């Protein structure tokens, strides 16, 4: 069975061997303050910065989920700085709602599915919350719009939820202060671990705010990370698997070129066979997740026929649940698996 679900997604085939390797290495029984763990954590952060082309002065923290990061940013930064959430889909909206419940001062600017990000201008500090890849409707924020947002509000800390894009495409790091992702999407790993990347400016802001009331306060995460440690017993297995997958994958420029080429090929294939994408504007379409639209009855028939062939498609999400299905274009999927799905779709036919 092959999963084209955009999270949890098909893990890299090599993960099977890495699981056994983790067990045999003895790391799973090691204390998270032990030199063995500190070595693993430091090496993994180094590999992540190298393979994902993260600037040398940015910091990387291990946390449990992207949802947890929404809370970390709310309690450690937005509580004091306020936040402004720009979104066009379900994940961006949920992030805004979580933050509002925790801080009572989350402002929002929703925009339409076929509209570009409405760039916000301003001067003073705030936390700008952007969804880099909106997994619910298969839209993304291309580098130029992120750079434009940075230039329009240079005093803002820009946070980007890149859960379904980090490790699949390249990011314009200079435009971003806080980037996070859980690993069960583009990293091709099992769920239960997330990474949070912070710019020096973001760390400085967290230390100035000085919020220390939570075990996962940004200031605590940072202090522990300087020692190669975590605030709590982390997902050591997840970190081990992340280490091995990062060692295996090519540099992000190469991965991104493949992701974009495959996305173009998918779009041509779907258009050529009469399928209708949810998003009409090509420049707004995500390179890592595709959403195909149709009547609920047809979508449902197609998904179950695919499952009969051992192909798991992603359900639609939120307001797009019934009339779309989603296809992950994540790096862990192989050419043969993609060919198998395209073969199925060509035979099943468009609506």
Ligand X SMILES: *Cc1c(COP(=O)(O)O)cnc(C)c1O
Copy the structure tokens of residue 302: 């197609």
Name the H helices within 210-334: 218-226, 236-248, 252-272, 296-308
Q: How many residues does the chain have?
A: 351
Least distance (Å) from ligand X to the CB of residue 93? 11
Residue pair 117/131 in contact by the 8 Å Cβ criterion: no
User: Coil, strand or helix: which one is 44?
Assistant: helix
For residues 133-172, which are near ligand X according to CB under 6 A?
Answer: 135, 161, 163-164
Strands of the 106-110 sheet, one edge to the other: 59-63, 194-198, 178-182, 157-161, 127-131, 83-87, 106-110
Alpha carbon distance 274, 284 (integer Å): 20
What is the chain's Cα-based Rg? Answer: 20
- Contact flag: residue 327 with ligand X (CB under 6 A): no
Q: How far apart are CA 47 and CA 39, in angstroms?
A: 12
* Interaction residues for ligand X, span 28-67 (CB under 6 A): 65-67
The distance of closest approach from Cβ of residue 50 to ligand X in the complex, given in angstroms and rounded to an integer, is 24
Give the one residue of 44, 103, 149, 182 binding ligand X; rule: CB under 6 A: 182
Closest distance to ligand X from the beta carbon of 161 (Å): 5
Q: What is the DSSP string of 56-77?
A: TT-EEEEES-HHHHHHHHIIII
Of 8 and 82, CB closest to ligand X: 8
For residue 117, what are its two tokens?
Answer: 């990000």
7 lies in the binding site for ligand X (CB under 6 A):
yes
Nearer Cβ to ligand X (103/135):
135
If the CB atoms of residues 239 and 345 are measured against ligand X, the closer one turns out to be: 239
Interface of this chain with ligand X, residues 66 to 95, rule: CB under 6 A? 66-67, 91
Q: Mask of contacts with ligand X, 188-207, x by CB under 6 A?
A: ------x-------------
CB of 289 to ligand X, least distance (A): 8
Q: How far is the CB of 261 from ligand X (least distance, A)?
A: 22
Q: Which is nearer to ligand X, 45 or 66 (CB)?
A: 66
Does 131 help bind ligand X (rule: CB under 6 A)?
A: yes
Residue closer to ligand X by CB (options 116, 190) is 190
Closer residue to ligand X, CB minimum distance, 9 or 243: 9
CB of 228 to ligand X, least distance (A): 24
Q: Are 202 and 38 in contact (CB under 8 A)?
A: no
Sign of CA dihedral 46, 48, 51, 52: negative
Name which of 180 and 209 has its Cβ closer to ligand X: 180
Cα(64)–Cα(54) distance, integer angstroms: 20
Q: Is 230 helix (H, G, I), strand (E, B) or coil?
A: coil
Total interface residues for ligand X by CB under 6 A = 12
Nearest Cα to Cα of residue 61 among 182, 155, 145: 182
- Least Cβ distance, residue 134 to ligand X (angstroms): 6
Instruction: In angstroms, give the least distance from the CB of 34 to ligand X.
Output: 27
Give residues in contact with ligand X (CB under 6 A): 7, 65-67, 91, 131, 135, 161, 163-164, 182, 194
């Amino acid at each position: 069975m092959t999963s084209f679900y955009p999270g949890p997604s098909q893990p890299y085939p090599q993960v099977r061997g890495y699981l056994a390797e983790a067990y045999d290495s003895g790391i799973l029984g090691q204390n998270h303050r032990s030199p063995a763990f500190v070595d693993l954590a430091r090496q993994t952060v180094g590999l992540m910065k190298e393979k994902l082309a993260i600037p040398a002065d940015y910091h990387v923290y291990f946390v449990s989920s992207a949802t947890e990061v929404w809370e970390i940013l709310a309690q450690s930064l937005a509580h004091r700085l306020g936040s402004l959430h720009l979104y066009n889909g379900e994940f961006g909206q949920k992030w805004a709602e979580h933050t509002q419940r925790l801080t009572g001062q989350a402002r929002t600017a929703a925009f339409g599915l076929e509209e570009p990000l409405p760039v916000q201008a301003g001067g003073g500090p705030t936390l700008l919350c952007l969804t880099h890849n909106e997994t619910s409707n298969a839209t993304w924020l291309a580098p130029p719009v992120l750079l434009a947002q940075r230039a329009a509000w240079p005093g803002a800390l820009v946070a980007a939820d890149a859960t379904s894009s980090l490790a699949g495409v390249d990011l314009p790091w200079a435009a971003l202060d806080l980037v996070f992702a859980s690993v069960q999407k583009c990293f091709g790993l099992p769920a239960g671990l997330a990474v949070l990347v912070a710019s020096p400016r973001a760390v400085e802001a967290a230390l100035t705010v000085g919020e220390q009331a939570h075990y996962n306060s940004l200031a605590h995460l940072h202090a522990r990370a300087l020692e190669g440690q975590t605030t709590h017993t982390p997902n050591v297995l997840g970190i081990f698997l992340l280490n091995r997958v990062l060692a295996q994958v090519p540099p992000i420029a190469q991965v991104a070129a493949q992701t974009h080429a495959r996305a173009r090929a998918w779009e041509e294939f779907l258009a050529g066979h009469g399928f209708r994408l949810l998003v009409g504007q090509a420049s707004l379409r995500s390179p890592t997740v595709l959403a195909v639209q149709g009547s609920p009855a047809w979508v449902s028939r197609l998904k179950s026929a695919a499952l009969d062939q051992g192909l798991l498609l992603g359900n639609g999400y939120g307001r797009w649940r019934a009339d779309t299905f989603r296809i992950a274009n994540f790096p862990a999927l192989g050419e043969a698996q993609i060919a198998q799905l395209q073969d199925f779709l060509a035979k099943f036919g468009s609506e």
